[in-house]
Structure 1
Amino acid sequence: MNETLLTVDGRPMLRIERRLGHPPEKVWRAVTEPAELSQWFPATVEMELELGAKVSFDMGDEGGPSVDGTIVELDRPRVFAFTWVDDLLRWELRPHDDGCLLVFTHTFDDRFGAASFASGWRQCLDALELLLAGQPIHHVRPSAELHDSLVTAFGLDEGTVEATPGGWRVRFERQVTQPAESVWKLLVSDGADALAVGGAVPGEFTVAGFRPGAVTAVERQTVLEYSWYFDGDDAPADTTGPSGAAGPSGVAGTVRWELTTGTGHGARLILSQTGPEDLVTERSRALAAWRSRIDELAAQLRGMAD
């Protein structure tokens, strides 16, 4: 795998290398001439090849509104870089054997979108190689399997732990490969109409070892939040059980599932679980349990791909 996720000046940067069996001058034309660039790049591009010149990107009917950028680096036929809104795209061509080495970098802000960016760019660079070889280009949607393999390779399947006043929060953020509607349908199954504050939590939203209480917030296809209970002799003394009385079975915190707008073709899943500092051992269990559950969900979503 030639994709690497780095952090440069506090921003995520995707780095991709490709060895191409074509001289730098030929690849340079494919990278900088709008008529050729627009055949493999994910937008129709218009520009004058001058440092500081404006670059216009037309994403087509399904890609959203047109946006602009600026050429910020130009060293013929070696380096070409421009901005795309707040992102920076840079191509560097290095002579290598009978062809050249293409070093592409994409600097952006949305770290959890990196797998979508990388899988998309792999498809684009495959198309670039077809163009250079004079072969027809067939644009296809990046596979869910490729996307999720990059999630793992970049460590984007790992959760984080945050300190909160009097406790902790475990948090996962993950780009998924299906839209929110499909994810929600999979999670709630046939119980969608019964979801309401105070009601029962569907099993798909839970993990073993953390007993769910009642739903505390719900927004269709967007949010499900519920309380969870700790069952054990070391339960915090100030927790309360379902009846409101303190005891060994008490409300320890909340679990929240949220589906937001994602990068690419799917939704962004944000899952968090809070707990009290008394139950610090449960924090590690929550990290492991939720990582496994989200991996399981991702596999189910891959199975739904066309």
Structure 2
Amino acid sequence: MSGTSAEIRTVIVEREMAHPPEKLWRALTQPHLIAEWLMKNDFEPVAGHRFNLSADWGAVDCEVRTVEPNKALSYTWNTKDLRSVVTWSLTPSGAGTLLRMEQSGFRPDQQPYLRGATVGWPRFLESLGQVLARME
């Protein structure tokens, strides 16, 4: 990859979901649902709320930054030496909702984190789709 050492990288995953934004919002903000598709957590959709995500491989320290019900959600995603931000955008579409996940803040020397996010987020979104299909 070319670029300067100051170049920050971003992972973006978009999915067309056959569900209304309100349903996706619940799956993105209710702790028991987040645990089904992402990780165990103590999330609350309140700006400034600090929470943790935990999995077999470790934990992520987070803080909610933006909460726009049924539209946008962002939080910091900090683990070891990675300082990044995850931003979710929900846009109504003819088929339901265009869901966009963007994780930004990967430094050039953080290729393992970038690779992990590039592989991991599509898997998480696949699991999210399965959770949505089961929800009322």
Question: Is the shorter-chain TM-score for this pair beyond 0.5, marking a shared fold?
Answer: yes
Secondary structure at 1:184 match in 2: helix
Counterpart code for 2:93: G
3-state SS of paired residue (2:94): coil
Q: 1:200 to 1:230 in 2, by over 3 A?
A: closer
Q: What is the alpha-carbon distance in structure 2 between the residues aligned to residue 202 and residue 177 of structure 1?
A: 29
Please show how residues 152-171 of structure 1 align to structure 2 within 5 Å: 166-171=7-12
Q: Distance in 1 between matches of 2:83 and 2:28?
A: 24
- TM-score, length basis structure 2: 0.73
Deviations 1:120-148 (A, max 9, x none): xxxxxxxxxxxxxxxxxxxxxxxxxxxxx
1:196 has 2:46 as partner: yes
Structure-2 change in CA distance of 1:167 and 1:292 (3 Å)? same
Check conservation: 1:172, 1:272, Cα contact below 8 A.
Answer: yes
Question: Is the 8 Å Cα contact of residues 184 and 221 (structure 1) preserved in structure 2?
Answer: yes
Indicate yes or no: 2:99 matched with 1:273. Answer: no
Give the whole-Å Cα distance in 2 for the aligned partners of 1:296 and 1:283.
Answer: 20
Is contact 1:252–1:276 with CA below 8 Å preserved after alignment? no
Q: Which amino acid aligns with 1:279?
A: Q
Q: Cα gap change, 1:209/1:223 in structure 2, threshold over 3 Å: closer, same or farther?
A: farther
Q: Indicate the structure whose relative CO is greater, using CA pairs within 8 Å and at least 6 residues apart.
A: 2
Mapping 1:88-103, distance limit 5 Å: none
Residue matched to 2:21: 180
Judge conservation of contact 1:177–1:302 (CA < 8 Å) in 2: no
Q: CA separation of 1:257/1:202 partners in 2, compared to 1, >3 Å: closer, same or farther?
A: farther
State yes or no: 1:299 paired with 2:133.
no
Deviations 1:244-290 (A, max 9, x none): xxxxxxx61111111112232x1110001112222122111001111
| Of 88, 91, 112, the match for 1:260 | 91
Structure 1 residue 187: Cα displacement: 2.6
Counterpart in the other structure of 2:37: none
Q: Is the 8 A contact 2:52 2:60 kept in 1?
A: no
2:79 is matched by which residue type in structure 1? F
Change (3 A) 1:212 1:222: farther
SS in 2 for 1:278: coil
Letter in 2 for 1:174: R
Q: How far has the Cα of 1:209 moved from its partner?
A: 5.5
Q: Does 1:284 align with 2:121?
A: no
Higher strand share: 2
Larger Rg: 1
Partner of 1:53: none
**Cα offsets for 1:36-81 (capped at 9, x unmatched):** xxxxxxxxxxxxxxxxxxxxxxxxxxxxxxxxxxxxxxxxxxxxxx
Shift of 1:220: 1.0
1:157 aligned residue: none
Checking the alignment, whether the CA contact within 8 Å between 1:217 and 1:224 is kept in structure 2 is yes
The alignment-based identity, stated in percent, is: 24
SS of 2:50's equivalent in the other structure is: coil
Shift in CA distance, 190/298, structure 1 to aligned 2, threshold 3 Å: closer
- The 1:283–1:210 alpha-carbon spacing in structure 2 relative to 1, beyond 3 Å, is farther
RMSD of Structure 2 on Structure 1 (CA): 2.8
Return the offset for 1:230: 3.0
